[in-house]
Amino acid sequence: MQTDLARRSLLYKIAKAYYEDGLTQQQVGKRFGLSRIKVSRLLQRARDEGVVQITIVPPQNSDADLERALEHKYGLLESIIVPVTTSDPAEVTPALGVAGADYLLRCLDGHEVVGLTWGSTLHALIEALPPQNWPEITVVQLLGGLGAPEAEVHGTDLARRMAQLFGAKLRLIPAPGVVNSTLVRDALLTDSQISGTLALGEQANVGVFGIGIPAQGAVMTRAGILAPDEIARLIEEGAVGDIALRFFDRAGRPVQQPVDERIIGLTLEQIRKIPRRIGVAGGAGKLDVIRAALLGGYINVLVTDALTANGLLQDSEQPTPILATAEM
C-alpha cells in the first residue's frame, strides 16, 4: 500500500515534470506509467494539497488589480484603465482612444457586426486604429448623423473611416439623428435602407459608445443638436448622461422625453441586447454619468482613466445594476 510520503513524492515529481520541465500530460504519463486522465487528476490533487501553489504576478506599474475590482463591483466583462494622472480631456481623450482601439482589435476575429455612435472619444479611438484586412466585418451606424456632416465626430464619418481602416463592409443611416417631428421620423423609418440599417445595428456583436453629458455648452448644444430649453428640461427630469442620445438618470433608469420621438437610432433597450458593449469615456465631469451607464447595464466593457476608476470604486455600497451586464 502506498504511504502518504510516497504519494506526496509522486505528486511532487509529476508537478515538477509538468510545470517546470514543460512535458505534456501525455508525456508525463508515459514517463511515470500513468494514463493521461490519472495525470490530470494527480495534478489537480497537487494543487488542492498545496504541493503546487500558483502565484500570478501583475505587471509592474499596472492597474490590473484596480481593473479586476471594477469588473467585480459592476459585473463587467472587462475594464481597461489608462494610467493618466490628470482629468484634462485634452490628455485623457487621446489616451482613451489608444486603449479603446487596442481593446477593440483584441476582441475582434474578423467576422463581426460592429456598431458605433459618435463623439470625440470615438474619433480618438478611430484615429488610433491601424489598417486591417477584415472584409467579413460589417461596420454599422447606430444613430443618424449629428452636427455638421463635415465634423470629425459626426457618426457617419466615423463609421465610414472605421470601415475603410478595417477593409470592411459599411452600413450607414442616410438620415439625421434628430429630426423636426415624430411625423418626419416615422416617414423616414419606412425607408428600407434606414430601417434595415437599424435592424442590423440591433443584431451587432460589438457596440462602441461614447457617453455624453446633458449640459449647457456641451457638444450637443454647441452643434445645435438639442436646443438649450431641451437640455434644461432633461436636467430638470434628472438626466445625467446619454448613449446614442438616449438619456438616463443617476441610477441608470431611462429618462423619457419628447425628443425620443424624433430620434433615428437604437433605443437603450436595444443597445442592452448587444453582447459586447464597449464604453469609452473619462476625464473631468464624467464620473457620475459613467457610473449611471454601468448601473443601467448599457455598457459591459469600460475603457476609462485611473482617476475615474478610483472614483467608481469609492462607493461604500455594492451597486445593483438594472440588468446583469456580464452576460454573453
Residues 87 and 216 in one domain: yes
**Residue 308 belongs to a domain:** yes
pTM: 0.81
Write the single-letter amino acid at 307.
L
| 3-class secondary-structure state, position 291 | helix
Residues 44 and 146 in one domain: no
| 3-class secondary-structure state, position 189 | coil
Q: Residue 267 is part of which domain span? A: 64-313
**Residue 184 belongs to a domain:** yes
pLDDT (mean) for 183-201: 95
What is the structure's pLDDT at 219? 65
- CATH number of domain containing 74: 3.40.50.1360
**Residue 56 belongs to a domain:** no
Separation in Å, CA 3 to CA 6, 10, 31, 32 = 5, 11, 21, 17
Residues 221 and 176 in one domain: yes
Q: Is the pLDDT of residue 151 over 60?
A: no
Residues 38 and 138 in one domain: no
Residues 98 and 218 in one domain: yes
Higher-confidence residue: 328 or 95? 95
221: Cα within 13 Å, side-chain hemisphere? 13
**Span between the terminal Cα atoms of the chain, in Å:** 49
Residues 29 and 131 in one domain: no
What is the structure's pLDDT at 155? 78
Tell me whether residue 69 is exposed, middle or buried, using C-beta atoms within 10 angstroms of its C-beta: 0 to 12, 13 to 18, 19 or more. middle
**Residue 57 belongs to a domain:** no
The string of pLDDT tens digits covering residues 50-66 is 888 876 666 655 678 88
Number of domains in the chain: 2
Look-up of cell digits 461596420: 139
User: Sheet containing 301-305: which strands, arranged edge to edge?
Assistant: 78-82, 301-305, 276-280, 206-209, 113-116, 138-141, 169-171
CB atoms within 10 A of CB 148: 11
